[in-house]
Amino acid sequence: MNFDRFFYGLDNEAYNYLGCHSLDMNSVEFSLWCEADEVYLCFDDKQIKMNKMNDKGIFSITLDTHIYKYHYLTIRNGKSEIIKDIYSFNNDE
């Protein structure tokens, strides 16, 4: 993923690569832009640490499963916060 256009304000369609996207019938990619030291994808009582893609705060992970309800747990300076993806599949809110 190349986020240069996004960070320079030249791309207003970040929803094409941030959030949750099915890659094929069996895998899903989750990407988030967030000021955090660590980010975890949380679903079904699981927490999976996401990969920090660059120093600008892009986190991403690809899983071989389809998840329909999830949230993110971010940790910054020792403080944690839960972030819901308002565009996620079957979001309650």
Rg (CA), the chain: 13
Phi, psi (rounded to 5 degrees) for 7:
-70, -25
Tokens of 84: 């819901």
32, 39 Cβ separation under 8 angstroms: yes
CA of 78: how far to CAs of 35, 38, 81, in Å? 13, 10, 10
Q: Is 16 helix (H, G, I), strand (E, B) or coil?
A: helix
Residue 49's pLDDT is 96
Tens digit of pLDDT at every position of the chain (93 positions): 667 777 888 877 877 788 888 888 888 899 988 899 999 999 888 999 999 998 889 999 999 877 777 888 999 999 999 988 766 655 554
Tokens of 17: 């690569």
